[in-house]
A and B are shown apart, each in its own frame.
Chain A
Amino acid sequence: MLFNSLHFLIFLPIVVGLYYLLPFRFRWILIFIASCYFYMVFVPKYILILFLIILIDYVSALTIEKLNGKLRLFYLIGSLTANIALLAFFKYFNFFNDNLVTVFNLFGREFDPVNLNIILPIGLSFHTFQSMSYTIEVYRGRQKAERHLGYFANYVLFFPQMVAGPIERYDTLGNELKQDHKPKYENFSNGFRMILFGLFVKMVVADNIAPYVNLVYTDPLKYNSGEVILAVVLFSFQIYADFFGYSTIALGSARLLGIKIMDNFNTPYLSKSITEFWTRWHISLSSWFRDYLYIPLGGNRVKLPRWCINILIVFMISGLWHGASWTFVVWGALHGLMILLERFTSKVFGINITKEWNILNIMLTLKTFIVTSFIWIFFRAETFDKAKNIIKAMVRNWHVPAMPEQINYAVIFSCVIIIIDILVYNSRFDKRLGAVKAPARWAMYALFIFCLMAMAGTQKFTFIYFQF
């Protein structure tokens, strides 16, 4: 089910209403059924994959907790392998085969692999990572294994965040799901604000930008440099608005049930460096990679060459997590390289990034935005050839872009989102809005509702991160 659908706008109030009407001991059943239904609206049979993941990790965690010594590691590896195998089968099988064909061709050999013709289960990368974090934590002894299969299933399936995160840890979401949440006005008003704002960001900002970006990325060589550069910049806003919008609706939906889930974004385009960007963008994924890959590889307590390699490994795997294509790997690698470059340049030039806003920091923020926008090209282009064409088109046929009305909307709303980010820097929109006096707050509601109802994009675009 899509958040930006009438289906969801009917589904959510029904679930919230039933949730508070039901006695606490039955609520997990409601969440379970609602989450299964939410997921099954996409491709019903894929729920079985989720059930398999749940069963594997539930049993593995209980077994790991009971055992001592090397057997614990054996079960952990077993559980992780099963999760990764599922992900590899559905997401990377064809990618792996394609690469095998290339390698065979390199040596003048023929290889004719069987390619799978299946749709990737929505949000599979999110579920597996969330579930894997649980077994790892149980193995590390930081988390008690959950005895109640229903609660554990809800941790993996919880509908607001099941298909595109945030990737939650069991000690937060798992415990939240076990609380007896009473209906509170504060939760309703905050939840409403977050959903309203999230829908605005997705449907008004992202969906008004998408048609132009899609048009230019389909055949970039048809457009002049200004138009292509504009599309590249607008895609930065589109993907931000799309994913941030989704995460905000997820937060708001959970909040209506009294459940707090983590913030996945913190004004990322106001970062002064790529390093800072990754502490503000898709925070739940960054922290997952930090805790379960970067630190086990040695973190920053290793020698410089090894640290450089670690950074590149983490970012390349992070790229591959996003999609089964070398363009994503390059996207990740470029971010890794930029982090290395930042470390060296800050040492050589003695750049000391401070917290307060000054000219230098504004320039650095602008630089970070330009760099991330450029790197997004590899994320958005399906192939290297397309990425090459975009870059080529950016530097030839110099012209200022024509501004038809459709682009006006896209540019205006991109500006709106950046202004909002500046206003709520290091905070969240709903918190700021909640603190405003009632007349101004209601005027803002009216403005957002008007934009949402009368100016949202009319083409159908699913959330970009659903494909991962």
Chain B
Amino acid sequence: MIKKIIIRIFGIVVVIAILNLIYNFTLYKKDLNEKCEEVQEIKKEQNNTDIFYFAESSNFSTQPSDSIQNSISEITNLFFPSLKITAINKAATHAGIYKHWITQVNVKEHKPKAIVVTLNLRSFDATWINSKLETPLQESVVLLKPYPNIINRFLLSLNAFDNKTEQQRDQDMIKEWETTRLKFPFKSAHKTVREWDYEMAQGTYIKPDGSWDTEKITLACHYVKTYAFNIEDENPRIKDFDFIAGWCHKNNVNLYLNLLAENMEYADSLVGKELVFLMKQNRDYLVKRYNRNNCRVVDNLELVKGKEFTDQSWTTEHYSYKGRMIIARNLAKALSTQFNNKYKTAF
């Protein structure tokens, strides 16, 4: 009987292998387009692309009143008119998603000269890691996992990916705020995000009439919850970016970590020096860790002034034209070390 069963199992494996081929030729493209159109974009553009620019919503203008609507990647491209920079964007993406996109670049067919990966500090924190947007993002990359395509499709319908519910993610996030101790090289009253947030919420800002300035308090609390953390080696996003850096190193593709600007002015004025210290410390960690081999960190953290952020009452990396221009220029400057002869002073 065991022999009979083993033969049947082998038969099923063969059948699945054949079905995988059929799937690849029939429904795979349609499914990929439905779940992860960015990959189709990569495949379509790869042969005439010099630089891939992977980014989230920071790339675009979110302010219709902006006189110039060009994205950061488009502005950067103006500095290198003879190169083609192709932007692949999706809102709320992070290193954990980019690492799947990057493996879709067929280096044997046409190797890009460089890859720019845009990241912001927030994508390393508990709020973003446990964001409700994470489930659809994870769903979008199931078809890109390193298994046969038909197996990936089956995993997708079994919901075999990180598909926690919103409540589960909220619980994880709160647990992180409550239990992870903040590390400062000096004495600080703030032990955890939860405690710091609670302190901020106790009437830190008072209006002239004596009532609490709840709008300001809410924003200050949000800054604490967003930026009060220490990036460490165990951070899942670090592991994800390690993979990206490793892939680029292995395939000899230059990598640029475009670390976005955060609203440091507001962080300072609303919360204070300790929060700014943590933000800078996290930036320094990334610079130290990734400024080696063929990877370079483009540090924009403190470059954009508070008023150039489109969202004045929340923490986002959406910039006015001037803000996008500053980041594009800084990135172009970094790229110019590699593409010195193609660099034109556009502005």
Contact = CB atoms under 8 A, between A and B. Distances in A.
Interface of A: 4-6, 9, 183-185, 188-189, 203, 207, 442, 445-446, 449-450, 452-458, 460
Which of B18, B22, B159 has the most C-beta atoms of chain A within 10 angstroms of its own C-beta?
A: B159
Interface residues of B, number: 27
Interface stretch (B9-17, B49-57, B90-98, B251-259): B9-17
Interface stretch (B73-81, B146-154, B184-192, B271-279): B146-154
A185 B22 CA distance: 30
A199 to B, nearest CB: 9
A9 to B, nearest CB: 7
21 contacts: A4-B157, A5-B158, A5-B160, A6-B158, A183-B1, A184-B1, A185-B1, A185-B5, A442-B11, A445-B15, A446-B18, A446-B19, A449-B16, A450-B23, A453-B151, A453-B153, A454-B26, A454-B27, A454-B154, A458-B156, A458-B157
Instruction: List 5 tightest A-B contacts by C-beta distance, closest first.
Output: A456-B157, A6-B160, A453-B154, A454-B23, A185-B1
B163 interface: yes
A454 B150 contact: yes
A453 B19 contact: yes
Contacts of A6: 155, 158, 160
B4 interface: yes
B146 to A, nearest CB: 16
A207 B157 contact: yes
A453 B23 contact: yes
Interface of B: 1, 4-5, 8, 11-12, 15-16, 18-19, 22-23, 26-27, 35, 139, 150-151, 153-160, 163
Given A442-B15, A446-B15, A458-B157, 16 more contacts: A5-B159, A6-B155, A9-B158, A442-B11, A445-B12, A446-B18, A450-B19, A450-B22, A452-B157, A453-B16, A453-B151, A454-B154, A456-B154, A456-B157, A458-B139, A460-B159
A454 B150 CA distance: 6
A446 B15 CA distance: 6
Nearest to B139: A458
What does DSSP make chain B's interface, helix, strand, loop or mixed? helix
A185 B4 contact: yes
Contacts of B1: 183-185
A217 to B, nearest CB: 22
A400 to B, nearest CB: 26
A190 to B, nearest CB: 13
B316 to A, nearest CB: 29
Contacts of A457: 157
Nearest to A183: B1
A458 B35 CA distance: 10
Contacts of B15: 442, 445-446, 449
A454 B25 CA distance: 12
Contacts of B155: 6
A421 B139 CA distance: 34
Contacts of B27: 454-455
Contacts of B35: 458
B155 to A, nearest CB: 7
A151 B108 CA distance: 62
A453 B150 contact: yes
A455 B34 CA distance: 13
A189 B35 CA distance: 35
A453 B27 CA distance: 11
Contacts of A189: 8
Nearest to A405: B30
Contact of B158 (A4, A183, A188, A450): A4
A4 B155 CA distance: 10
B278 to A, nearest CB: 37
A361 B58 CA distance: 65
A231 to B, nearest CB: 22
Contacts of B4: 185
Contacts of B163: 460
A28 B155 CA distance: 32
A457 B139 CA distance: 13
A201 B1 CA distance: 29
Contact of A454 (B5, B11, B153, B158): B153
Nearest to A189: B8
A119 B35 CA distance: 32
Contacts of B18: 446
Which of A184, A185, A457 has the most C-beta atoms of chain B within 10 angstroms of its own C-beta?
A: A185
B210 to A, nearest CB: 36
Given A442-B11, A454-B23, A454-B150, A203 B157 contact: yes
Contacts of A9: 158
